């Protein structure tokens, strides 16, 4: 048998529609097979909460082996996985095409799909995943929603902790009265016809987060693209389904994939590229949807037409060149490479993007922020999220840069929270949001 990590990892389509996929006995057998391999390897001991939890269970068992751990005790291991894919992409030597055929994140997903099929998801948890609906409702009363979710509001945050299981100390996303889609329809930026990249056309898939929580990031991306000659349209047919995937609701993710692929397919027909503004959403369109619906031609076509925003701007720079007019970012930038950007296997595109800025020093942080989507907001996980994100927070705080940016908007805020907890006297960098917002600043478009 060959050692692992000698070939590029490959992933199998997810057989979520077969009876075996959610069969409890088969899942337990596969958990024990995979956990025993992980126990013998332990390379992932510091990646996330799942692995140290598993290894502590084994080490404390009567036999010191997996056979001494009851299956009922596996739940914290499964709940600790954030589906970041870093074990699969960067650490595990036994992923396919190795004969051990180990895919830890998708096994955790399979267990959650079983829980969802058994009706074990709580009401509040289901409601938190309805990001489109929540964004529309909260946006309609944005000042009230932001007041209620502010960390300084002890009364309402205490209520949210009891009702929605959200940690009172976790910084929650803010909402905007005007969505990115509605704002974009009113004031499209003029396209620079003199830019080297003039002639490109792209649809910006707004994503739930940018549409409802951070329209400024979307406006910055659109302004930078227009400056570089790219004609853009902004659409948001539906959530990509990542919050649903985290809960194992794969059938609902498939429904979202079909809806979005159909809507965006009409733009692909007209020669438009597709740009996703959040790495998790880009990962869904590029990789997860084709594994869930491997025989869907529209999904496959969309996968091939989709770019992450950093990836797209770097592509313009390489093939046509960027429009002139950028000025240096004073103090330089520490850039955090988000796990779901790394899982796209496209290289350090955010760092490449920022190195296009003239006279700007760039420090790369390639450690998990610890956030893990909604996982890091939860009462049970927030302290663990801070713990696993502390190395990234330390790197940002000690970088000596003027700004810190992350491809993942939630990761950026979590790193800023992590820096707040550090016992140091350093001047911490200012959170700048996404790297594309620093390009907009360099162009004077912010």
Q: How far apart are the C-alpha atoms of 408 and 304, rounded to whole Å?
A: 22
Q: What is residue 221's predicted lDDT score, i.e. its pLDDT?
A: 97
Over residues 93-149, the pLDDT tens digits come to 999 999 999 999 999 999 999 999 999 999 999 999 999 999 999 999 999 999 999
Q: What is residue 174's predicted lDDT score, i.e. its pLDDT?
A: 96
CA angle 341, 319, 329 (to 5 degrees): 60
Q: What is residue 425's predicted lDDT score, i.e. its pLDDT?
A: 67
Reported pTM: 0.94
Over residues 13-63, the pLDDT tens digits come to 999 999 999 999 999 999 999 999 999 999 999 889 999 999 999 999 999
Residue intervals of the chain classified under CATH 3.40.50 are 180-318, 325-442
Q: How far apart are the C-alpha atoms of 258 and 335, rounded to whole Å?
A: 34
Q: How far apart are the C-alpha atoms of 383 and 169, rounded to whole Å?
A: 9
Q: What is residue 90's predicted lDDT score, i.e. its pLDDT?
A: 87
Q: In the chain, count of helices (H) and strands (E)?
A: 23, 8
The DSSP H or E segment spanning 383 is helix 382-397
Q: What is residue 268's predicted lDDT score, i.e. its pLDDT?
A: 98
Q: What is residue 5's predicted lDDT score, i.e. its pLDDT?
A: 58
Residues of the chain falling short of pLDDT 50: none
Q: What is residue 4's predicted lDDT score, i.e. its pLDDT?
A: 57
Evaluate the omega torsion of the peptide bond into residue 81 and state whether it is cis, within 30 degrees of 0: no
CA atoms within 13 A on the CB side of 245: 29
Q: What is residue 2's predicted lDDT score, i.e. its pLDDT?
A: 58
CA angle 188, 316, 241 (to 5 degrees): 65
The residue among 118, 114, 120 whose CA lies nearest residue 20 is 114
Rg, C-alpha atoms of the chain: 22
325-442: CATH number = 3.40.50
Q: Look at the alpha carbons of 431, 435, 436, 440 in this order and tell me if their dihedral is positive or negative.
A: positive
Q: What is residue 267's predicted lDDT score, i.e. its pLDDT?
A: 98
Q: How far apart are the C-alpha atoms of 148 and 145, rounded to whole Å?
A: 5
Backbone φ, ψ for residue 329 (5° rounding): -95, 115
**Going by DSSP bridges, is the β-strand pair 306-308/430-431 parallel, antiparallel, or unpaired?**
unpaired
The CATH class that applies to domain 180-318 reads alpha beta
Residue 37 CA from chain centroid, whole number? 27
Give yes or no for a contact between 160 and 154, defined as CB atoms under 8 angstroms apart.
no
């Amino acid at each position: 048998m060959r050692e692992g990590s000698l070939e590029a990892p490959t992933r199998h389509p997810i057989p979520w529609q077969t009876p075996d996929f959610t069969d409890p006995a088969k899942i337990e057998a596969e958990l024990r097979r995979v956990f025993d391999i992980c126990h013998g390897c332990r390379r992932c001991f510091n990646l996330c909460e799942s692995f140290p939890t598993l290894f502590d269970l084994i080490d404390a068992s009567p036999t010191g082996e997996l056979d001494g751990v009851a299956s009922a005790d596996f739940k914290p291991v499964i709940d600790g996985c954030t589906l970041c894919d870093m074990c699969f992409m960067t650490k595990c030597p036994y992923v396919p095409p190795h004969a051990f055929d180990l895919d830890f994140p998708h096994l955790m997903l399979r267990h959650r799909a079983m829980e969802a099929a058994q009706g074990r998801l709580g009401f509040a948890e289901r409601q938190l995943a309805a990001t489109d609906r929540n964004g529309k409702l909260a946006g309609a009363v944005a000042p009230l929603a932001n007041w209620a979710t502010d960390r300084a509001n002890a009364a309402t945050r205490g209520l949210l902790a009891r009702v929605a299981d959200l940690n009172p100390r976790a910084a929650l996303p803010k909402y905007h009265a005007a969505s990115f889609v509605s704002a974009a329809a009113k004031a499209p930026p003029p396209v620079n016809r003199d830019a080297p990249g003039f002639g490109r056309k792209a649809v910006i898939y707004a994503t739930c987060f940018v549409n409802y929580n951070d329209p400024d990031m979307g406006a910055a991306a659109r302004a930078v693209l227009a400056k570089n000659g790219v004609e853009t349209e902004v659409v948001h047919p539906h959530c990509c389904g990542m919050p649903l995937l985290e809960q194992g609701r794969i059938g609902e993710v498939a429904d979202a994939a079909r809806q979005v692929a159909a809507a965006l397919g009409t733009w692909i027909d007209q020669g438009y590229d597709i740009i996703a503004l959040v790495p998790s959403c880009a990962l869904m369109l590029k990789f997860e949807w084709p594994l869930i619906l491997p025989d869907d031609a529209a999904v496959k076509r969309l996968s091939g037409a989709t770019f992450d925003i950093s990836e797209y701007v770097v592509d313009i720079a390489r093939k046509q060149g960027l429009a002139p007019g950028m000025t240096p970012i004073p103090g330089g930038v520490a850039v955090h490479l988000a796990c779901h950007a790394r899982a796209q296997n496209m290289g350090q595109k955010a760092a490449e993007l920022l190195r296009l800025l003239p006279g700007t020093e760039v420090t790369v942080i390639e450690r998990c922020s610890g956030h893990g989507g909604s996982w890091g907001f939860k009462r049970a996980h927030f302290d663990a999220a801070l713990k696993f994100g502390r190395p990234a927070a330390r790197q940002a705080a000690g970088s000596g840069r003027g700004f810190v940016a992350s491809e993942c908007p939630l990761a950026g805020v979590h790193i800023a929270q992590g820096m707040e907890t550090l016992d140091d006297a350093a001047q911490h960098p200012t959170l700048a949001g996404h790297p594309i917002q620093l390009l907009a600043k360099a162009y004077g478009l912010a």
